[in-house]
Amino acid sequence: MTDHSKLEKYEDNWQTSMGGMCGDGKVLLRGENIFTELNEKRWMEFLLFGVTGKKDSKLARLLEAIWVICTSYPDPRIWNNRIAALAGTSRSTGVLATAGALAVTEANIYGARAILGASDFLYRASNELDKNQRLEDVLVTELRTHRSVFGFGRPVLDEDERVSPMMNFAKSLGYGNGSFIKLVFDIDEYFKASRYKYRVNIAAVTGGLLADEGVTPREFYDMTTLAFTGGYMPCYADAVQKPEGVLFPLRASRINFTGDVAARKWNHYSSEG
C-alpha cells in the first residue's frame, strides 16, 4: 500500500466502532446511547467503559480511589501543581493552568509515563516468570537494560505513604489478592533484602491491582491521564486569590554566586536603559 492509497482510504471516511454523533440526534459510545443507556453511569464508570469497554462499577470505584488517594496532593511545591499555582499568581486562566500542569505530568520518572512503564514492566516480568525465569534474573536484566525498574524507587520517603491506604481500600472492595499484585510485593521483598536501594511505589501497586483485572498498560495510562487534576486545580484556585507574582519568591541576596563573571549591578543597567 502506497502512502497515497493509505490516505485515499480515509478521505472523507472514518470507520469506527467507538461511537459518535448521529444524524438523528443520538450520541453513541461503543454502540450505546449516551442519553438513554449510559446517562445514569457515574463519570468513572463512563470513562472505564469508553476506554476499555468494561462495565464494572466496582472497578470504576477502585479507579476513582486511585485518583483520590494516589494523585491528588494539593501541594504547590509538587512539579505539576507548581505550574498551576504559577498560572494563578500570573492571572492566567484555569484552562491554561490545566494545560500547563497536565503537560508536565507527561514525564518518564513520574506521572503518566511512570504509570505506563510500571504496568508494562509487570506484564513483561510476569511473562518471563511464566517461562520459568527466576525473579532475580528478571530484575537484574531489567536494571542492566534500563538502569531502573518502573514502579520501584521513590526518593522522597523510605516508604511510599500511599501504598498502605491504597491497599486497604482495594481490599475493602475485594481486590488485592491476584497474581500481579503478589508479584509487586515479591519484587519489593527482593529489593528490601538486596543491595539495591529500591522500594515499591504507588505506580507498581496500582498497576498490579488493575493488571489483575485485565486492564492493559495502555488502558491504565489512558484512564489516569487526567488523574492529577484533583491536585493541581486546588493549587490554582488558591494561588489566583493571592497577589500577583508571589509564588515562591527568592531575594537576590540569597543567591550564592560562584561564577567567574562579576555579578551584574542591575540598577546600573536599568539606569542606562
Flag whether 83 is in a domain: no
Type of residue found at 105:
T
The answer as to whether 119 is a domain residue is: yes
Parent domain of 131? 112-159+176-212
The domain tally of the chain equals 1
Domain assignment of residue 193, yes or no: yes
Residue 200 maps to a domain: yes
At 103-130, the pLDDT tens digits run 999 887 778 889 999 999 999 999 999 9
Q: Which amino acid type is present at position 115?
A: I
**What is the tens place of the pLDDT at every residue in 127-151?**
999 999 999 999 999 999 998 999 9
Q: How many angstroms separate the CA atoms of 71 and 169, rounded? A: 15
Compute the residue count for the chain: 273
Instruction: Please count the CA atoms within 13 angstroms of the CA of 91 that sit on its side-chain side.
Output: 3
Q: Is residue 188 included in any domain, yes or no?
A: yes
Q: Let me know if residue 208 belongs to a domain.
A: yes
pLDDT band at residue 2 under the 50/70/90 scheme: low
Instruction: Give just the sign of the alpha carbon dihedral 226, 50, 66, 203.
Output: negative
**Which residue in 68, 50, 89 sits closest to 229, CA to CA?**
68
In a domain, 148, yes or no: yes
Instruction: Identify whether 155 is part of a domain.
Output: yes
Distance CA 266, CA 143 (A): 49
Question: Which residues lie closer than 8 Å to 32 by C-beta, 6 or more apart?
Answer: 38
**Which ranges constitute the DSSP H helices of the chain?**
3-10, 43-52, 57-71, 79-89, 94-104, 111-130, 135-146, 163-172, 179-192, 202-211, 217-223, 229-239, 266-272
pLDDT band at 197 (very low <50, low <70, confident <90, very high): confident
pLDDT in tens, 23-46: 898 999 999 999 999 999 999 999
Mean pLDDT within 236-251 = 94
Which are the contacts of 204, defined by CB distance < 8 A and separation ≥ 6?
A: 118, 121, 122, 150, 151, 152, 184, 187, 188
Q: For residue range 48-74, list pLDDT tens digits in order.
A: 999 999 999 999 999 999 999 999 999
Rg (CA), the chain: 24
**CA angle, 154 then 60 then 230, to 5°:** 55
Close Cβ partners of 221 (under 8 Å, ≥ 6 residues apart): 112, 113, 115, 116, 119
